Amino acid sequence: MSAPKRNKRPISGWIVLDKPYDMTSTQAVGKCRWLYGAAKAGHAGTLDPLATGILPIALGEATKTVPAIQDGEKTYRFAIAWGAQTATDDAEGEVVATSDHRPTEAELLAALPRFTGAITQVPPAFSAIRIDGERAYDLARAGEAVEMAPRQVVISALRLIGHGQVKSELEMVCEKGTYVRALARDLAEHLGTRGHVAALRRTAVGPFSEVDAITIDALEAMALEARDAALLPVSAGLADLPEIRLSPDQATAVRHGNPVLLVGAGAPVALDDAWASLRGEAIAIGHVERGQFKPRRVLN
């Protein structure tokens, strides 16, 4: 006799999960969704199974704000192991090329500006990018040759934290679509050697950082009421966007998908992205055009 199905709860908010090593982002979302009994869940930016750190998980209405988080900057700390390139550009793959050369600290520091700003990067073959409807990593694991198109990415900051003959540790702040594994591969090649990511941790995504983070173990140890209290509000994911504070009448109009005229001193005339609130609660995501807030996604 099968167990009775759990009732799904219409719960909304953000879990800033400190994802453990060797867990996929999909597994992490599924675990959190089960712990909360949530009707709907998603994440704001895939984190590799071998990586740890910040994985923002959206429940309920927070899933509508995921693009705002995905478009935000991300911060990574990672170690490059020198002398070996792998098929996956991380410690999981087989070694495909080696080099006896080891860069000096001075050489590494001199190379970092070349990889800062807008650069061209070829994503790893083992990535979640879709090629003709298939994930690149599925094609690569099946032994097929995977041709990845180069793309422009933006690295806002790249600094050396520690240097050694075996490994070097770096920190990177970057925009959406940047691959740490590709950076490690390309930086090593530029320095006349080979390299791969030996360790990777994401320390910030958009407005979320390690200060907000909670582990799976901590969530499992909580009673349901405490677990609910640990949820951040939907508006927490919108902290990097301008807030438009609405009156009750304006909020009613926006909830029906209608634009509203913004009045008063300092009312914005134009904004590419903004969120509207009523008494601190997120009502909608949208933009301001000619002094009107126009909703794109309404939050229930």
Using alpha carbons only, give the angle 70, 72, 76 rounded to the nearest 5 degrees. 95
Q: In the structure encoding, which two tokens stand for residue 200, read together?
A: 């990777």
Specify the pLDDT at position 1: 46
Query: Which residues does residue 199 pair with via DSSP β-bridges, in sequence order?
Result: 79
| 214/57 Cα distance (integer angstroms) | 11
Q: Does domain 13-71+207-237 have CATH number 2.115.10.20?
A: no
| 245/279 Cα distance (integer angstroms) | 8
Q: Give this prediction's pTM.
A: 0.89
Cβ-based neighbour number of residue 272 at 10 Å: 9
pLDDT for 68-125, tens place per residue? 898 899 999 999 999 999 999 999 889 999 999 999 999 999 999 999 999 999 888 7
Specify the pLDDT at position 126: 66
Specify the pLDDT at position 124: 80
Domain with CATH 2.30.130.10 in the chain: 241-298
Q: In the structure encoding, which two tokens stand for residue 165, read together?
A: 């003959």
Specify the pLDDT at position 130: 67
| Residues 111/147, Cβ–Cβ less than 8 Å | no
Indicate if 48 belongs to the active site. Answer: yes
Fold for the domain defined by 241-298: 2.30.130
CATH entry, 74-202, from 3.40.605.10, 3.30.2350.10, 3.50.50.60, 3.40.50.2300? 3.30.2350.10
pLDDT for 197-220, tens place per residue? 999 999 999 999 999 999 999 999
**254 or 4: whose pLDDT is higher?**
254
pLDDT for 156-178, tens place per residue? 999 999 999 999 999 999 999 99
- Catalytic-labelled residue, pool 48, 89, 90, 212: 48
Residue 166 DSSP SS3: coil
Q: Identify the sign of the CA torsion 284, 287, 292, 295.
A: negative
The HSE-up count of residue 93 (CA atoms within 13 Å, CB side) is: 21
Provide mean pLDDT across the span 126-130: 66
Strands 52-59, 260-261: pairing kind: unpaired
Please spell the DSSP secondary structure of 225-277, one letter per residue: HHHHHTPBPGGGGGTTSPEEEPPHHHHHHHHTT--EE--STT--S-EEEEEEE
Going from the C-alpha of 83 to that of each of 41, 179, 189, 195, 272, the distances in angstroms are 41, 20, 10, 6, 46
Domain with CATH 3.30.2350.10 in the chain: 13-71+207-237, 74-202
